[in-house]
Structure 1
């Protein structure tokens, strides 16, 4: 059997948050003996109750924080600025510069991603066409609807054509139409070869889109399962109870 390529791999990872208050240090275990992998080309959904470790997992994958033990590989390599430049990220709680237009934001993000002017222009045209942003590209972001802002968020994450896309609660704040549109975008990106890791509280939506799901409980991987229609909620409740 051919070896399955991994886009993201955690091996026995531990993470402890330490807080100093006067002369006392408190410790909170965020992840313990955490092992998980995301295969290249799949949509993998990370599920868990609040405080289960989803956000810590995402931050570690993006090299924003560092593990206290264990090993992490992103696209087959140790996390570094060069490797993370091949990753796109959509945050659950972003700051979108409401006084900028979408075009201005994309130009700024393109510059930060190292794209020169011709490549930025090509990338903006490509992403606007893909996400149907043409009518909104010169509108101030603060004047856009929540659904449109989510599309802008996804667009800025795609400008540099990443191999791995990490979506933290991509359906947050969306109405049913917006959720359906976001699902279609995610599915199309995956069909074009992008690996996608997403976190979500919406089990029914995760069931429609993910190939596998990892269920977290108290900083550990309780279960990794293939997603089967009609069974994910049952599996989730059994794992976290």
Structure 2
């Protein structure tokens, strides 16, 4: 397979009113996306995800490095003709209906009238807006606007679809619809590159993921390869009498690991007779032996839950890294710092990436 997206040593600097020096949002980002795969682009706020997407779309000029879409250097008119894009916060002429929006978008792509109408009708049904097809967009909810935006991103039957937070504002049904559309695009041989903070959606549809922290690629690969099947710990919950003394609890727990004691909650509130012990056993612990030991001390076993590494664990592991050096694809705990938050004029906090948004036009000439 050939790379549909190629990013090499990509850099972006912004100068903001709050800082005298330039802020480097992207610090040498490199990754690739292969033809026909779904690639989930992850990272904490301020990591550089939206900046990367804006550079790929030709909306912002990079300060260094290179990027290609469909084999063409960014920006490219040829690549744009085969590209579908849904930004994080789309804005449409709100006096239009969704049918008129799709007709306008199709005309901009040079699609013939009959083909435009046929595609528009199919897409309106596909994104679940048939009943609202004649309603002006200004009366749409945020979730409905996301559906309309997804439809306009597909009007030109693109080879590459780039989606920035496509499930933002959608209810669970809408999120499932978007996931189904993404999976159907993959079945058609399309390439989908999308960012999202909803890790369950990313894990469900992605062939591979990339985690960006501090403007660098921290990890990339399939979820299974990155998370593995290794056991992290075994979580055990047992019930004991509320009168159990600290000494008896220590004898019950032994060297099992961390333990938290809580009253059992019933319909009438906390129980005065029973408490629960929530224990975390090490990966190499003999769980059967511990359970037998707990029963001998009068405990009743409520649950035993093996805990393996999840995408959330992986994400939090990387997002929590604050300092180090030498980050890159497959990097471990050491790496570049996360973009720090800076106070805004109104006293709230903004990340460096957020500060750079809105300054793009002024900076393109400098880049």
Residues 155-210 of structure 1: CA distance to partner in whole angstroms, max 9, x if unpaired? Answer: 11111111100110011111112111211111112211110011011112211111
Any residues of structure 2 matched to 1:189-208 within 5 Å, and which?
A: 189-208=185-204
2:13 aligns to what?
A: 16
Residues 74-99 of structure 1: CA distance to partner in whole angstroms, max 9, x if unpaired? Answer: 01111212212211011111112222
Gaps of 5+ in 2: 228-308, 321-367
Any residues of structure 2 matched to 1:131-146 within 5 Å, and which?
A: 131-146=127-142
1:158 aligns to what?
A: 154
SS in 2 for 1:26: coil
Distance in 1 (alpha carbons) for counterparts of 2:66 and 2:149: 30
User: Contact 1:41 / 1:195 at 8 angstroms: preserved in 2?
Assistant: yes
Displacement of 1:101: 0.8
Which deviates more, 12-21 or 192-201?
12-21
Distance in 1 (alpha carbons) for counterparts of 2:9 and 2:213: 15
Residue 31 of structure 1 pairs with residue 26 of structure 2: yes
Displacement of 1:146: 3.2
Displacement of 1:47: 0.6
Which deviates more, 92-101 or 126-135?
126-135
User: Contact 2:127 / 2:177 at 8 angstroms: preserved in 1?
Assistant: no
Distance in 1 (alpha carbons) for counterparts of 2:46 and 2:95: 33
Any residues of structure 2 matched to 1:90-169 within 5 Å, and which?
A: 90-169=86-165
* Structure of greater relative contact order (alpha carbons < 8 Å, 6+ residues apart): 1
Distance in 1 (alpha carbons) for counterparts of 2:177 and 2:156: 22
The TM-score normalised by the length of structure 1 is 0.91
User: Contact 2:99 / 2:124 at 8 angstroms: preserved in 1?
Assistant: no
2:296 aligns to what?
A: none
SS in 1 for 2:163: strand
2:295 aligns to what?
A: none
Residue 231 of structure 1 pairs with residue 310 of structure 2: yes
User: Contact 2:98 / 2:148 at 8 angstroms: preserved in 1?
Assistant: yes
User: Contact 1:222 / 1:240 at 8 angstroms: preserved in 2?
Assistant: no
Gaps of 5+ in 1: none
1:240 aligns to what?
A: 319
Distance in 1 (alpha carbons) for counterparts of 2:209 and 2:159: 20
Residues 36-68 of structure 1: CA distance to partner in whole angstroms, max 9, x if unpaired? Answer: 111111110111111000011101111111222
SS in 1 for 2:51: helix
Displacement of 1:13: 1.3
Displacement of 1:132: 4.0
RMSD: 1.9
- Deviating beyond 4 angstroms after TM superposition, the runs of 4 or more aligned structure 1 residues are none
2:292 aligns to what?
A: none
Residue 44 of structure 1 pairs with residue 39 of structure 2: yes
